């Protein structure tokens, strides 16, 4: 399957360089765009200076200590990356839709809003806010309907978000809105603020569900709101419900609920402790380069996508092809109607007592277990997506997502798992350090047997944080635990706290669009967005 990816265009959703507050720009080629690793491009320092000069970058920070002198050498990273990319470690209990909800959330957190405000004068304050993490759906709203650059995302009423139409069968409202123009590429381009949400079909259909969610709120929740305030009111309702769903449904599925609750009820202990809530948050590299890359373990190689592409024929490869960034919509300019998602196969509506909206267990898709293994296709990423030339070899290690994640850590001298345990203990967090035997043996995860003894020793002594948090999850029932759970829960808490609309600051908020005033899960969001109708949640039957 993977070789067929060659020749497709896709943008990565990761950063090429990291501007870390207090340290400056940490940039080093991973064999991609600047070519410095193969001697063809400018050295990293020159590139870093050029990037700094051209634009103030996204604001990353360092939560824990600097991992200088504790980074794995290239040989060990290659071997460890190969060990991790030996097929996923089996099914989890998590419905597969949550994998791509996670990717959507990642894009929301890391969205650079200033990219949709190019036509206007951006003040330094807006720049700061725009290049900082937030759980505020800028990736859905852009800079709002009144901003000249963002108006194109909205219907003529300036309130609804645009939706698109599929072909064969033609169905309105089942694809992202797509462009116009004189080339096929322009026509197929999604008209959404964050093009990364058209990187694969699963994240694109998730974005579409969020568009529908907003539009339903506009249709049903704005009675009595003065016209000039309607949009902002809708956005507030949508954003707060979305944050509630992340806190109470998404996070406890991927991380131990006790840690998530502890952070949300008792406050943070390790990240931006005591920050003025409305101050602009930063994004810790421990989250971006390790903790939240947990999602890579959840990706499946194949899906029972819908009634037509059933029994595993919804291969990951096709999810890329039937998007405009990962592929070319199969050569068309609109999505083929045969590829519309069946949300009943991605989320379990029996959680909301809707047995009529469920599929037999053998049709349902579960995410892969959160562990130290990723599926095989992710070790042969399409070269263009990671800045490599088209002719990069199929087995070129720079196409291996695991190797890339490990190498990013080295680039920024990320703290090791052991360093983070010590750091957290010093801040009063109750975490237990994994033993060397636990890190070596795991629980049906990556096998370190192919590393040389010296390489294995290095991994056990100074464990790369991404590997460490995945081993923690693997040994704790497939959920982030220990340092992994803390890093993720605290980062989300701070990002929500600093968002314009915030359920962390507005403690009186209670959801009104779910079954009762304390429940609003992803299934409730989808039921509301798709009017509870099978014809909308699974139009192909
Ligand atoms: C098929 C699905 C996915 C693919 C192909 C993919 C691919 C990538 C690639 C190529 C990178 C950049 C690697 C580098 O540093 O060079 C990346 C970064 C990242 N990915 Fe994914 N990813 C996927 C799904 C996910 C999911 C589901 C999550 C989380 C739930 C996730 C979280 C992240 C994060 C946090 C980063 C770093 C972002 C940043 O630095 O700005 N990814 N991914």
Q: What would the pLDDT profile of 6-49 be if each residue is shown by its tens digit? A: 222 334 566 777 888 878 888 666 644 333 333 333 444 444 44
- Ligand 1 pocket test, pick from 198, 295, 374 with the greatest ligand atom count within 8 Å of Cβ, gives 295
Judging by DSSP bridges, how do beta strands 302-303 and 24-27 pair with one another?
A: unpaired
Find out whether 89 and 478 touch, Cβ atoms under 8 Å.
no
pLDDT of residue 400: 95
pLDDT of residue 117: 64
- Ligand 1 pocket test, pick from 1, 9, 13 with the greatest ligand atom count within 8 Å of Cβ, gives 13
Average pLDDT over the chain reads 90
pLDDT of residue 112: 78
Q: Taking every pair of C-alpha atoms in the chain, what is the biggest distance, in angstroms?
A: 70
pLDDT of residue 308: 98
pLDDT of residue 50: 44
Minimum CA distance residue for ligand 1 atom 17: 14
Low-confidence residues in the chain, pLDDT < 50: 1-11, 31-54, 119
* C-alpha torsion sign, points 415, 421, 425, 427: positive
Identify the three-state secondary structure at position 263: helix
Is the shortest distance between the CB of 103 and ligand 1 below 6 Å? yes
pTM of the predicted protein model: 0.92
Whole-angstrom Cα distance, residue 266 to residue 421? 20
For ligand 1, what atom is nearest to the CA of residue 254?
30
Q: How many helices, marked H, and strands, marked E, lie in the chain?
A: 21, 10
CA of 299 to the centre of ligand 1 (A): 11
Whole-angstrom Cα distance, residue 109 to residue 284? 12
Is the shortest distance between the CB of 401 and ligand 1 below 6 Å? yes
For ligand 1, what atom is nearest to the CA of residue 405?
15
Minimum CA distance residue for ligand 1 atom 11: 14
Cβ-Cβ contacts under 8 Å for 485 (sequence gap 6 or more): 255, 256, 259, 260, 472, 479
Identify the three-state secondary structure at position 303: strand
Nearest-CA neighbor of 414 among 288, 282, 273? 288
Whole-angstrom Cα distance, residue 479 to residue 256? 6
Identify the three-state secondary structure at position 131: coil
CA of 1 to the centre of ligand 1 (A): 20
Minimum CA distance residue for ligand 1 atom 23: 296
Residue 213, CA distances (Å) to 110, 259, 374, 525 in order: 21, 29, 32, 7
Minimum CA distance residue for ligand 1 atom 10: 12
- What is the edge-to-edge ordering of all strands in the sheet holding 60-61? 24-27, 17-20, 60-61, 283-284
Whole-angstrom Cα distance, residue 232 to residue 214? 11
């Amino acid at each position: 399957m993977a070789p067929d990816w060659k020749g497709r265009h896709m943008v990565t959703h990761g950063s090429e360089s990291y501007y870390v507050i207090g340290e400056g720009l940490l940039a080093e080629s991973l064999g991609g765009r600047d070519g410095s690793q193969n001697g063809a491009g400018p050295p990293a320092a020159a590139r870093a200076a050029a990037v700094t000069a051209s634009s103030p970058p996204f604001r990353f920070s360092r939560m824990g200590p600097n991992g200088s002198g504790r980074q794995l050498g290239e040989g060990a990273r290659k071997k460890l990356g190969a060990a991790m990319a030996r097929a996923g470690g089996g099914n989890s209990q998590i419905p597969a839709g949550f994998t791509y909800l996670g990717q959507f959330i990642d894009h929301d957190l890391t969205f650079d809003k200033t990219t949709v405000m190019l036509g206007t004068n951006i003040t330094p304050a807006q720049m700061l806010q725009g290049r900082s993490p937030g759980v505020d759906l800028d990736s859905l709203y852009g800079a709002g309907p009144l901003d000249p650059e963002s108006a194109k995302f909205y219907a003529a009423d300036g309130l609804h978000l645009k939706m698109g139409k599929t072909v064969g069968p033609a169905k309105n409202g089942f694809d992202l809105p797509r462009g116009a123009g004189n080339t096929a590429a322009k026509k197929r381009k999604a008209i959404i603020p964050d093009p990364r949400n058209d990187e694969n079909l699963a994240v694109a259909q998730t974005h579409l569900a969020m568009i529908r969610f907003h539009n339903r709120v506009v249709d049903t929740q704005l009675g009595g709101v003065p016209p000039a305030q309607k949009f902002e009111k809708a956005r507030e309702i949508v954003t707060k419900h979305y944050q509630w769903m992340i806190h109470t449904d998404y996070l406890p599925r991927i991380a131990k609920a006790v840690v998530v609750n502890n952070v949300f009820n008792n406050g943070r202990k390790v990240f931006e402790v005591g920050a003025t809530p409305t101050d602009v948050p930063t994004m810790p590299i421990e989250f971006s380069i390790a903790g939240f890359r947990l999602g890579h373990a959840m990706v499946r190689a194949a899906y029972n996508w819908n009634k037509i592409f059933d029994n595993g024929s919804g291969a990951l490869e096709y999810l890329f092809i039937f998007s405009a960034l990962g592929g070319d919509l199969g050569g068309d300019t609109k999505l083929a109607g045969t590829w519309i998602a069946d949300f009943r196969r991605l989320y379990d509506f029996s959680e909301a007592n809707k047995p009529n909206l469920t599929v037999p267990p053998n049709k349902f898709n579960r995410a892969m277990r959160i562990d130290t293994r990723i599926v095989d296709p992710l070790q042969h990423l399409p070269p263009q997506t990671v800045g490599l030339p088209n002719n990069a070899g199929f087995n070129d290690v720079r196409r291996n997502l695991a190797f890339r994640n490990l190498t990013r850590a080295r680039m920024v001298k990320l703290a090791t798992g052991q360093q983070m345990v010590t750091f957290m203990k010093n801040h009063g967090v109750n975490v237990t350090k994994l033993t060397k035997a636990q890190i070596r043996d795991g629980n049906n995860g990556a096998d370190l047997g192919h590393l040389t003894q010296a390489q294995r020793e290095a991994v056990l002594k100074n464990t790369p944080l991404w590997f460490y948090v995945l081993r923690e999850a693997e040994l704790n029932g497939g959920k982030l635990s220990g340092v992994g759970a803390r890093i993720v829960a605290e980062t989300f808490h701070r990002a929500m706290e600093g968002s314009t609309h915030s359920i962390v600051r507005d403690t009186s908020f209670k959801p009104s669009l779910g079954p009762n005033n304390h429940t609003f899960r992803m299934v409730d969001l989808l039921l509301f967005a798709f009017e509870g109708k099978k014809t909308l949640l699974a139009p192909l039957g």
